[in-house]
Chains A and B, each alone.
Chain A
Amino acid sequence: MSRYSRHIILSEIGQIGQDKLSNAKVLVVGAGGLGCPVLQYLAAAGIGTLGIIDFDVVEESNLHRQILFGTSNLGQNKANAAKTRLEDLNDTITINTYSYKLDYQNALELFNQYEIIVDGSDNFETRYLVNDACILTNKPLVFGAIYKFEGQVSVFNYQNGPSYRCLFPNPPKKDSVPNCSEIGVLGVLPGVIGSMQANEVLKIVLGIGKVLNGKLLCYNALTSQTSILKINKSETEISKVLKEQDSFHKKALLSNCGFESIEISINSILDNEKVQFIDVRELNELPKIENITITSIPLSELKNSIHKIDSEKKKVIFCQAGIRSKQAVSILNNLNISNCYSIKEGASEIIEIINNRHYTEGTNQAICSKQ
């Protein structure tokens, strides 16, 4: 096959190496700044099965660095939009998409279906979840993270090596480290770091070169300097994770820990998703939203109206400006009701957006599809 001829003529790869790539199964967590270049190179290299998990939608501010997407993808789920682009790049591979949020309930089952996990997430809560799930499923973790002009790359949990917790045992204090959307990032930086992550995946699959196992590579885009620091394994940190194996799936993502985790856009609500829309405005507040089924529970009555909340569905809460809805999520989380999200748009924006979409009423769910 001429597609891989430039790989195959390398004596270090050959047809045997290319076959290893086509038999490999790699899951990429996050199709953002890091995930895009990772996916692009892994798909181009002929990794036979690629998984992409991302619940987020493409926004215009993503386009300066998330190179799989264009203006025609705005508002689309990132995993699905990435798949469309990657299928055009390489139609000989299998691409599985998971257009929902990685959590403690789905991580282990998902990771078990793959051989290598690549972390391209953008918050500490997910990074620690990915790390711990890799320990519990015994999968190598190809780690990458960025901050403004600097990046870090490493391979954790590989051949009995250290994990991310051996480097940073616990997540930092809440809100002490900003993310790209809050502080900005040089567009090309995730391209460099993501390409390095893709390179580590290829080295692991092919069994060539020296993998960044137990080493953290630090890159500075402004000085072009790289430093490689040695990380020692901490059995204490790893055994703490193993000890909690039985309770792992019972843990909940602390929505106030991630930076953007409780706030979503109405655009990110997917077709066929089981959703309960909750309006926490006072009953007399206008404009009213029509065409979709809404449960009205004013914020002041929320605590006493728990019986109106559908535990089976994703709770999507809105108000006039997106502030009371966040308070509502926090109240519900404190009452141990999970799977609650605040819509960042206010009521009038929501009306504008849903008027541009076609909603069909199901018995208990709003099914929405783009026109």
Chain B
Amino acid sequence: MHIKVKYFGQIAEVTKSEEEVIEFSGCLISELLDVLYSKYPVLKNKDFQVAQNQELVTFKTEVSGNEIALLPPFAGG
């Protein structure tokens, strides 16, 4: 299936894009992340949370939506 993946903050700097479509045949968010880790190894060292269809989910959640977002924490003020 095709998944639209959106990137924020430092994550978008690693992927050099704000969103892209990933071809994915697995089941869990963690498996989708494995696909992204092999494409962008630096991501493994980054802190982020994942949202699916605009809702924060755990990495053990099943991929059921068509839009995933990778969200890092920001420190600045």
Q: A246-269 toward B: CB 8 Å interface, digit per residue (1/0)? A: 000000000000010000000000
Question: Is B55 within 8 A of A190, CB to CB?
Answer: no
Q: Count B-side interface residues using an 8 Å CB cutoff.
A: 21
- Residue of B10, B47, B49, B74 with most chain A CB atoms under a 10 A cut-off: B74
Q: Closest residue to B72 on the A side, CB-wise?
A: A177
B2 in contact (CB, < 8 A):
no
Contacts A34-B77, A120-B77, A227-B69; A147 near B9 (Cβ below 8 A): yes
Q: How far is the CB of A133 from chain B (nearest CB, A)?
A: 17
Chain B residues with CB below 8 A from A144, complex form: 77
Q: Is B76's CB under 8 angstroms from A122's CB?
A: yes
Q: Which B residue sits closest to A230, measured CB to CB?
A: B55
B73 touches A168 (CB 8 A): yes
CB-nearest residue of chain A relative to B47? A172
Question: Chain A interface: which size bin?
Answer: 35 or more
1/0 per position for B51-75, CB-CB distance to A under 8 A?
1001110000000000001011111
**Any B CB within 8 A of the CB of A331:** no
Taking CB atoms and an 8 Å cut-off, the chain B residues in 29-49 that contact chain A are: 45-47, 49
Check if A190 sits within 8 Å of B51, measured CB to CB.
Answer: no
A230 contacts which chain B residues (CB < 8 A)? 51, 54-56
Return B52 CB to nearest CB of chain A, in Å.
Answer: 10
**B55 with A119: CB separation less than 8 A:** no
Measured between alpha carbons, how far is A121 from B75 in the docked complex, in Å? 8
A146 engages B76 (CB within 8 Å): yes
A180 to B76, CA, bound (A): 5
Per the 8 Å Cβ criterion, residues 151-191 of A in contact with B are: 151-152, 167-168, 172-173, 176-180, 185, 190
Residues of B near A220 (CB, < 8 A) are 8, 18
A148 to nearest B CB, angstroms? 8
Q: B54 near A33 (CB under 8 angstroms)?
A: no
For window 109-165 of A, CB contacts with B under 8 Å fall at: 119-124, 127, 144-148, 150-152
Pairs A-B, 4 closest by C-beta atoms: A172-B47, A145-B74, A122-B77, A147-B74
List 23 A–B pairs whose Cβ atoms lie within 8 Å, in order of A's numbering: A32-B77, A33-B76, A34-B77, A119-B77, A127-B75, A146-B74, A150-B9, A167-B49, A168-B47, A168-B49, A172-B73, A176-B46, A177-B10, A177-B72, A177-B74, A179-B75, A220-B18, A228-B54, A229-B51, A229-B54, A229-B56, A230-B54, A230-B55
